[in-house]
Amino acid sequence: MATSESLPPGTSGLPLLGETLPFMKDMFGFIHERTQRHGPVFRSHILGTPTAFISGPEVCDRWLDENQVQREGSFPAPVQKLFGGAGVLPMLDGSAHRTRKQLVMAGFSREALASYLPGLSRTIESYLGRWAGKGEFAVTPELKLLAIEGICGNVLGLGPGPELSQLVSDYGRVILGFTGLPIPVPGTRFHAALQARDRVLAALAAQVKRHQDAGAGASPPDGLTRMLAARAPDGTALTPQQAALELHHVVLAGAIIFAELAALLVELHRHPDVGDRLRAEVGSVAGSGEVTPAQLRQMPYLEQVIMEVKRTCPNVPVSFGKARAPITLGGFTIPAGWNVMMAVGEHNMNRVFTEPAKFDPDRFSPARAEHQKSPHAFAPQGAGTVDKGHKCAGYDYSTVFMELFAVLLMRSYRWQVPAQDLSLDGSLIPPEIRSGLRIRVERA
């Protein structure tokens, strides 16, 4: 058993409450301030559980070692409820996790992503077109709609209409529930989130049934069709309930793309030299016509810009785990049974990167390749590999979404960001620009 002397530095806070209140008020600020004070391993007491926060590439091997860190039972009860209960991909370990990951990844294979491009292009173009000439407006609400409409179109085959509008509205309530005090009393943010979750899961279950009744005849197949058709080597397939829960997980995870799109707009505004270079590359490779997967692969600077946006844009504060056995890190011991939270945002600002707070796409260039200095230096959507590790199944999808948005924006539009408050509200997940990010868009 660890002694108080060997525990990571930090404090347990108030009796019973611990440090839950300051954590919930600003999770990103809470983690950043304590990382600066204590270092990459520190302790706290959150939501009734002793918790260790860790970050940095040197801790990732321990984080990914299933003999030391488990995912089952690691999600705080309120968060688990918003995900629809236990048994969702990020809450699984071992063979169960690997099998489920394989089935979900069928919806995000290279072939699947290629088939999504035309429809996703039309969706993005429809948004850009209606922004042009609109005058000054807050783009954040529009980016939220775009993120969910794009995902639902590709994964569910669901186009604009009342059903999609209801899903968009309900997901807004579910996401707000992650930052509300977990009190399921009518009138609270959390209670509204639980009610919205129930409507979402019912709608997704109906989509699963609709796809099963239709069979595999869709051309091209959407993500759900691909997931339902997938089989593990032992013949395992997704049950209807599992499929609905994983769809919910996918949309929740994918909705945060809006924050990265907002960050892309801001960084290109702040760094016109980056924008000029990117626009030149886009013009030379994909200046007009349908954007293809081959064209995206032919634009290395585009990939560097998107990677740097992912590295610097805070999206989720932590990934959840639980110490299966005592874990020794940096001379400290995290006792078995403690929650272990990987601080995702802090992790990607680690000292492997030169001037980590600086926006610098060239750090990913072949000449510098700072992300290759450590196997786990760059982990914006979880550590490990996409196929078998705990990196988000939609990592490549989000990259393609962002790249396509950048290409279509840069080749046909210009935008201005008037003077405003561009600071982030860390009480939200993901943090949002306080001003709503007001912009003006015009056709080039």
Contact 438, 137 (CB under 8 A): yes
pLDDT at 1 over 60: no
pLDDT at 389 over 90: no
pLDDT at 144 over 80: yes
Quick one: CATH architecture of 87-316+374-443? Orthogonal Bundle (1.10)
The pLDDT, as a whole number, for residue 4 is 56
69's enclosing H/E stretch is strand 69-70
Task: Give the mean model confidence (pLDDT) for residues 278-288.
Answer: 97
The CA distance from 410 to 280, in Å, is 9
- Pairing of the two strands 41-46 and 49-54: antiparallel
Phi, psi of 443 (to 5 degrees): -70, 140
> What pLDDT digit, counting tens, does each position of 320-336 carry?
999 999 999 888 999 99
Residue 306: both structure tokens together: 């998107």
> What pLDDT digit, counting tens, does each position of 172-184 carry?
999 999 887 888 8
The CA distance from 252 to 20, in Å, is 23
> What pLDDT digit, counting tens, does each position of 57-83 carry?
888 888 889 999 999 999 988 999 999
The CA distance from 206 to 229, in Å, is 17
Contacts for 432 with CB less than 8 Å, ≥ 6 apart: 140, 259, 262, 424, 425
pLDDT at 290 over 80: yes
| Chain mean pLDDT for the chain | 93
Confidence of residue 219 (pLDDT cuts 50, 70, 90): low
User: According to DSSP H, which parts of 8-158 are helical?
Assistant: 20-25, 27-38, 60-64, 77-82, 94-105, 110-131, 140-151
The CA distance from 376 to 391, in Å, is 11
Percentage of the chain lying above the pLDDT 90 cut = 77
